[in-house]
Structure 1
């Protein structure tokens, strides 16, 4: 593995790829570790998670810089990502005991009936490059604390992050084998899932990758949680605070270089405020600073790989050829690195790539609608169903519309985000299952009914 700094095109380092023997050894260690790890008192597992938070805090700058070098995330956003991982660890260290406490039920006199939450065993995590620390910690913090053990197969362009995360758990005092990063190729994922020592799998990534994992896991009757792509609508109604919505919308589309499943991608705007909103959105987008991701003042860095930029530009070009109008951006920047400018497309024809596909980069599409009913129709006109947001001065109206949008999470007057306190996940082609909160930690447990007479 030879990761390349997307801001410069220079190779960062070289890592040896894991082979079948390495995977076998990792699974053996994981299986052995589970037998003792599952018996560790919950309070001890929670304390180790607090230790992990301390390691992250102590090495925050180092890990943020590693992220920025490997996938181009602006350093201020990389620092914020580490801080979010700390929050996630501290959240589960505080609440895991309550989330997994036995549930008791009415029962005949003299008997006790309850549900106990037992860990499943070895869980495989196939994780993406766009949030290389947070995606892993929102898997590892709850599932390890529940008593499972984890094997991470991270994206091939962030091997340094993968190994650094393993170091976090090792330095925190976790026993050998409880968390491992295996730099295995994607070609070995099916074999890992099929292995009898692996009990479950979670994936955050593309639709094709999710289908492949679900197919193999289904064949072997193993539990999965999938968080896949998104094409989130950002609905602006006629009574919205246009200036605020445009400012938030520009950030919701372009944070992390637009490389986020829950980024605002389709701006669905009421005709009464369309022109004002679009003008304001373009102004906000053009004010974003594109540049060196190591610079604290940078808002938008490079795309994570040159080929990702090329694929994005092919989608934009095809959409323009079909009739879309470029309001700003639309061409790769003439500079070293995989830089694509924040872009806004209007007059987007039905079924062109910008309309029907996920644009995984800093490209916003805007749609004009005549009324609330049409706004809902356009918002739901997608095979995805991850997140959505509604912008209106009437909170009750926003809540009512939220109930009619087909998505795993809908935010009113707020950009879509993941939060350790609330469940996160999608419907449709955006996957199934939930991460985070009590529901997330309970995804990979055996909900065991215990009847004591």
Structure 2
């Protein structure tokens, strides 16, 4: 059985029998047939589905947000923002997709030629629990606009959210069969990837799972987009606005209870301002409220599962044993639920766990360096390369340094975030491929050359 558990209480909310082999086969056949018809629909009509998706999301925002909070613990205010962001993404691509996918005339030896963008087919979307709506709709809006279909294999601790996504698509008038949610176990995924009715794969998840999926998709010669783990640096140089940086650092680390690939995790600060930053940061962390995620004034709800909390606490204990200074938190909250307090570790350095491993939860690591060169070197000293933040009052210098940071995105005087208008993705073991923006919509298309010779009269 696939169980839905409230991480704030440990209460079982619902249970579901996995889809059978016959149901999986029917879903794949239905999606393949529906996608062939969908691909022939003009893009001006396809984007109307996206507008309807946005309307359905906004109409059900209160109910969907509450479901997200109950099933994975995200504070309610943040869950509402997640639903609204999904709708924004749909609206953005409804307007931009016809422009992004317009034929491109290209001169070639005095003959006429075009570059056109055709859909690939049905895309298998393997999605995580931490943003149970956003992760799907981030992919789905451009994929459907481009003429693709989709099968969703969601994380098994958010089955109600997975089915709610299917409800949104149904309410929006999605063509029958073009999209299906499959409630299946991880052991079924390899068979889906190998199936000829699946044309491509997108995954957001851990680096370990990404490597496994990449191997399976590679064996089947299928396109993949992988958005994997991260240990994002938040670099604070001596000339930065320290108070502003510290205030933003609190949000950058603890939004979504610290459970995001692009949460800032390593706060790399020049020694000259490290005490000021750490003190201001800890003061901000002290204002965060841990509690019932359904309460509108809660900042820190439970982590998604008890085992994730235990893993995080082990990383904290190993870091302290290795010499890190515990400035806040550091002890699991007693009682029911997977609560862990906002935690700050100071004087962190490699090879401590908090410096070298991805800490997926409400734990911040402050690392001190002598100068900007050392900050960049330490920022790059990781197997990950998803996002980064850089704080400096000298923006011209910041632009130069940003090019030296090994990451898919660098935010100067801000926090790393995803935005429908900007490409999103990583390098190194944070994955490959891009979502969002014009680059995202062109991931799951056939970039086709059409060459037209002279007409023989």
Post-superposition Cα deviations, 1:293-329, rounded to whole Å, max 9, x if no partner, equal 0011111110001111111111111111222111110
Whether the 8 Å CA contact 1:322–1:349 is kept in 2: the answer is: no
Deviation of the 1:7 alpha carbon: 0.7
1:427 aligns with 2:438: no
The worse-fitting range, judged by mean Cα deviation, of 62-71 and 314-323 is 314-323
Q: Give the corresponding residue for 1:254.
A: 254
Provide the residue aligned with 1:224 in structure 2: 224
Say whether the 8 Å CA contact 2:126–2:204 is kept in structure 1: yes
Structure-2 residue corresponding to 1:374 = 374
1:171 Cα deviation after fit: 1.1
In structure 2, what is the Cα distance between the partners aligned to 1:437 and 1:16?
37
Superposition TM-score, scaled by structure 2 size: 0.98
Which residue number corresponds to residue 327 of structure 1? 327
Q: Is the 8 A contact 1:48 1:172 kept in 2?
A: yes
Find the counterpart in structure 2 of residue 50 from structure 1: 51
Q: C-alpha separation between the residues in 1 aligned to 2:108 and 2:196?
A: 37
1-structure distance, mates of 2:108, 2:310: 63
Corresponding residue pairs, total: 452
Q: Which residue of 2 aligns with 1:27?
A: 28
Runs of 4+ in 1 over 3 A off after TM superposition: none
Measured after TM superposition, the shift of residue 349 of structure 1 is 4.1
1:158 aligns with 2:182: no
Q: Which runs of 5+ in 2 are unaligned?
A: none
For residues 296 and 376 of structure 1, the distance between their equivalents in structure 2, rounded to whole angstroms, comes to 38
In structure 2, what is the Cα distance between the partners aligned to 1:74 and 1:220? Answer: 40
Q: Distance in 1 between matches of 2:353 and 2:231?
A: 12
The residue number in structure 1 matching 2:274 is: 274
With 323-332 and 425-434 compared, the bigger mean Cα shift is at 323-332
Pairwise CA distance, 1:348 = 2.1
CA RMSD of aligned residues (A): 0.9
Q: Counterpart in 2 of 1:139?
A: 139
Q: Aligned residue for 2:316? A: 316
Equivalent positions of 1:394-433 (< 5 A) are 394-433=394-433
- For residues 315-372 of structure 1, the C-alpha deviation after alignment (integer angstroms, 9 at most, x for no partner) is 1111112221111100001232111011011222422221211000010001111111
- The DSSP-based 3-state class of the residue aligned with 2:450 is strand
Give the corresponding residue for 2:65. Answer: 64
Q: Distance in 1 between matches of 2:213 and 2:368?
A: 38
Q: The residue matched to 1:390 in structure 2 has which SS?
A: strand
Q: Deviations over 1:394-435 (max 9, x none)?
A: 111111110100000000001000000010000001000000
What corresponds to 1:440 in structure 2?
Answer: 440
Q: Residue in 1 aligned with 2:115?
A: 115
Structure 1: runs of 5 or more not aligned: none
Tell me which residue corresponds to 1:90.
91
Aligned equivalents of 2:321, 2:109: Cα separation in 1? 71
Q: Deviations over 1:427-448 (max 9, x none)?
A: 0010000000110000010001
How much has 1:24 moved relative to structure 2?
Answer: 1.2
Q: Does residue 73 in structure 1 map to residue 47 in structure 2?
A: no
Does the 8 Å CA contact 1:319/1:349 hold for their aligned counterparts?
no
Alignment match, 1:100: 101
After TM superposition, the score normalised by the length of structure 1 is 0.99
Partner residue of 2:5? 4
Q: How many angstroms does 1:108 deviate by?
A: 4.3
Residues in 2 aligned to 1:336 and 1:187: alpha-carbon distance in whole angstroms: 31
- Compute the displacement of 1:23 (Å): 1.5
